[in-house]
Amino acid sequence: MLLRDRVALVTGGAKGIGRGISLKFAEEGCDIAVVDIDAEAGNETAERVRGKGREALFLECDVTRRAQVEEVVGTVLERFGKIDILVNNAGGISTPVTIENMPEEVWDQIVDLNLKSQFLFCKFVVPHMKKARSGKIICLSSIGAALPPAHSIHYNAAKGGVISFTYDLAATVAPYGINVNCIAPGPVRTHFFDGVAGRCLPEEEKDALCADLAKEVPLGRVGTPEDIAGAALFLASELASFITGHCLYVSGGLPLRPLSDASA
């Protein structure tokens, strides 16, 4: 097992990519602290982790609130005694709007959820990793940071900030044996995708939307939570012990574009 007896804190772990990472890590011997604002789905993920023979703890949290984040980190340390892996996966998006019509509070909300939350969890987890002189931090960005698939300037800007945050933090904590890397997913079919790209569409039209989107991906399909979980597992394991300050695009080949003639 690649993560035997490790402890991971996964933000946004209730559904989608976060659930996929939590379950993949559990299969590899890791105990999981699932952190999310969705208590029902978060408890379900924790129960599924236990079904794989690992310990699990669900903690409800607004990841943009300093006091709640500090309390969550303290609870995880009290329960497990350590945090070996931090996965900053929590994020979200709102309805796209032109910059001149965007309310300031909407900008702040999306930037806080996608970027500030990662700062807050690192703020309270890094000191413990420094003491242990080891740790793995994985930050989730998006292909939108490099190749915005749609106009969503607040989300794309925040995800670009995640990449810069990763680079700076990686250089800062490298002397303590802490690896900090970033994953930039491409299009992934989750509840998040269905709720944003396919809002209010019937299921068959969501399927058609995915099929159209897959035509833009060099590998010819949209991703799954398991695709992202596999990359996260690699970065969290000792297989990636000499990798830090890297942004890994798990995007089916994007931002490359499919060639019209694959034999050319």
242-261 CB burial, b ≥16 within 10 A, e <16:
eebeebbbbbbebeeeeeee
Please tell me the distance from the alpha carbon of residue 11 to that of residue 210, in angstroms, as a whole number.
Answer: 26
Q: Cβ distance 122 to 73 under 8 Å?
A: no
Instruction: Answer yes or no: 167 catalytic.
Output: no
Q: Phi and psi (nearest 5°) for 134?
A: -170, 160
Q: Cβ distance 155 to 111 under 8 Å?
A: no
Angle at alpha carbon of residue 124, lines to 118 and 125, rounded to 5°: 80
Count Cβ atoms below 10 Å from residue 239 Cβ, excluding itself.
Answer: 11
> Which position among 155, 167, 176, 249 bears the catalytic label?
155
Please tell me the distance from the alpha carbon of residue 140 to that of residue 108, in angstroms, as a whole number.
Answer: 19
User: Which residues are catalytically annotated?
Assistant: 155
